[in-house]
A and B are shown apart, each in its own frame.
Chain A
Amino acid sequence: MSSTGGKQKLTMQKSIIFIILLIGSLMYLMPFLWLVRSSLMSTGQIFKMPLEWIPKPFKWDNYPQALTAMPFARYFLNTVLIVVLVEVGTLLTAPMAAFAFSRLRWRGRDTIFFVLLTSLMIPYAVTLIPTFILWTKLGAINTYLPLTVPAWFGGSAYYIFLLRQFFAGLPIEYDEAAYLDGASPWQVLWKIVIPLSKPAMITVAVFTFLGVWGDLMGPIIYLNDASKYTLAVGLTIFRGAYSTKWNLLMAASTVIMVPPIVLYFLGQRYFEQGITMGGIK
């Protein structure tokens, strides 16, 4: 009797939570619905009172119109170029450091790792100005060097930390067996450790992508020529020029969101596992 009562209470509780989650999801998705709806309307319909949700008619040509209003194709290629350079640098050098800090034993290892971690506490605003001056002195302003070269030095301490945590959890016997077979640490890293670390590598790759794709400060500071701008900067300038054309603005904003969302869905399985690695321990 009491057990069925308990069960009923449980299903009751679960139904309430389900409804709360339904409402919550709607709240969190609402800005996206608003965005897409606005991107398919005429400005007349957007500013109509009372509020309308369904575009009438669907103005699909807002998209080509928005994307050709500025050289967005160019900005897209620029951004992709930076993303590729940063990804390669990060995914090459961050695992190298993480491997050295987790699976090789050498004197001073843990001290150096701890020192590296202190960089997580340093606000980027502190290093920003001297770094800018350095690139100015090197004559690299208005090139992609300031935006890509730093990634070839271990990516960021956070990525090294994340990968190290993951690497440390793999059985060391794999490495030892490979060393006995005459493998070098370099081979162990790329042939044994990396293939076993898919979630961690994908997480770092996605984080890196999101960081570059959405970066505004870097391109604003370092790039002068409009032909070199990235999508994030392009969208900002577009907003300045078309501030009242909400439909075009929303169409362009939608487009810039699509690649990260697609990437998220592709890597979701690994990604959620990867985020929590940084949080535990």
Chain B
Amino acid sequence: MRKQGRELRRHERKWGILLALPGILGYFLWVLGPTVVAVFMSFTDWSLASSPNWIGQQNYANLFNDFIFKKSLFVTFYYAIGSVVATLVVSFFWALMLNVELPGRSLFRTFFFIPSITPAVAVAMVWLTLYHPQFGLLNHILKSIGLPALQWIYDEKQVIPAFIVMSTWTIGYTITIFLAGLQGIPEYLYEAAMLDGATWWHKLRHVTIPMITPTIFFNLLMGIIGALQGGFTQAYIMTSGGPNYASMFYTYYIFLTAFQYGKMGYACALSVIMFIITIFLTVLVFRTSRYWVHYEAM
């Protein structure tokens, strides 16, 4: 029996490595390898046409004089903060509503989810027409309730707020994860609160929100990582990064630098900066989480 157990163990090791091999190889080929190369190449003047020369930190030094780089960093942060906050608040609100037992609840959930499975290209096409200053639906609505029409994505100041609004349309995944979190809150906590005569606001403030902080944490982290990389499709299809670079999302700028201008080394430097920012923010969110995430709720 023991011999058989040991036999099984040896098999497990062999099979474990064998079955995980494609995944491990993939990590080296498509993740670790390219990342190391990107860091290395960020110190070269690599372009598609010529072989790379080592130029030290020249690319990084050039960033300081690159107006579009600074602009795209600002634009991306602006969008990330706005869309993460808006997305969390809006999806938490709808999750609370959808968590109530009502007739037709699953149908409602479907309605809120469908925008999220729509291909980003098609979403961009639809919103392009919704935001049209003259014929778009949104200005029709504004005018019908007596408000002034907006320029939306065609105005330097309005374009990012417009994209933030658009980001609150595709929140199906976030709502679903919030709903799962809400359903994990034990009923007795609400019953206890009820016995203490708590109002709905007290229950929300002292039971629901503390208990759901692990879910908020997860959605926040995913939201930040996603939003920092976001905006490519919107910029590519709807604005070309304009007007006047006001929607020059960071990923779109990397794309232009690498594939339109062919400056691969410089684009690598840009992407390394993005990487560092992502790590920094991830660590920051993790570090601060112990002050506001209630892990006993997990």
A100 in the interface (beta carbon within 8 A) = yes
A239→B16 contact, CB < 8 A: no
B71 nearest CB across to chain A (Å): 17
A281 nearest CB across to chain B (Å): 7
B70 in the interface (beta carbon within 8 A) = no
A275→B121 contact, CB < 8 A: no
A99→B19 contact, CB < 8 A: yes
CB within 8 A of B237: which of A21, A239, A250, A278?
A: A239
Nearest CB to that of B102 among chain A residues? A18
A24→B121 contact, CB < 8 A: no
A28→B169 contact, CB < 8 A: yes
Listed stretches A54-62, A80-88, A254-262; interface member = A254-262
Q: How far is the CA of A239 from the CA of B168 in the complex (A)?
A: 24
A46→B119 contact, CB < 8 A: no
Count B-side interface residues using an 8 Å CB cutoff: 94
B4 nearest CB across to chain A (Å): 9
A280 nearest CB across to chain B (Å): 6
A35 in the interface (beta carbon within 8 A) = yes
B113→A250 contact, CB < 8 A: no
B169→A96 contact, CB < 8 A: no
A239→B125 contact, CB < 8 A: yes
B236→A236 contact, CB < 8 A: yes
Q: Please, which residues of chain A bring their CB within 8 A of the CB of B118?
A: 257, 260-261
A154 in the interface (beta carbon within 8 A) = yes
Q: How far is the CA of A45 from the CA of B108 in the complex (A)?
A: 31
Interface residues on A, range: 35 or more
A34→B126 contact, CB < 8 A: yes
Q: Digit string of B75-119 for contact with A (CB within 8 Å is 1, else 0)?
A: 000000000000000000010011010110000111111110111
Residues in B124-143 with C-beta less than 8 Å from chain A:
125-130, 135, 137, 140
B8→A179 contact, CB < 8 A: yes
B60 in the interface (beta carbon within 8 A) = no
Q: Please, which residues of chain B bring their CB within 8 A of the CB of A119?
A: 27, 31-32
Q: Please, which residues of chain B bring their CB within 8 A of the CB of A127?
A: 30-31, 34-35, 38
CB within 8 A of B26: which of A31, A128, A154?
A: A154
A154 nearest CB across to chain B (Å): 3
Listed stretches B155-163, B185-193, B203-211, B270-278; interface member = B270-278
Give me 10 A-to-B residue pairs in the complex whose CB atoms sit less than 8 angstroms apart, sorted by A's number.
A14-B100, A21-B98, A46-B135, A51-B140, A97-B23, A121-B225, A121-B278, A257-B119, A261-B114, A264-B114
Interface residues of B (CB under 8 A from A): 8-9, 11-13, 15-20, 22-27, 29-35, 37-38, 41, 48, 94, 97-98, 100, 102-103, 108-115, 117-122, 125-130, 135, 137, 140, 169, 173, 176-177, 179-181, 184, 200, 215, 218-219, 225, 228-229, 232-233, 236-237, 250-251, 254-255, 258-259, 264, 267-268, 270-272, 274-275, 278-279, 282, 298
Interface residues of A (CB under 8 A from B): 13-14, 17-18, 20-21, 24-25, 28-32, 34-35, 38, 46-47, 50-51, 93-94, 96-97, 99-101, 104-107, 109, 112, 115-116, 119-134, 136, 150, 152-154, 157, 160, 179, 184-186, 189, 206, 210, 213-214, 216-217, 220-221, 232, 235-236, 239, 246, 249-250, 253-254, 256-257, 260-261, 263-264, 268, 272, 275-276, 278-281
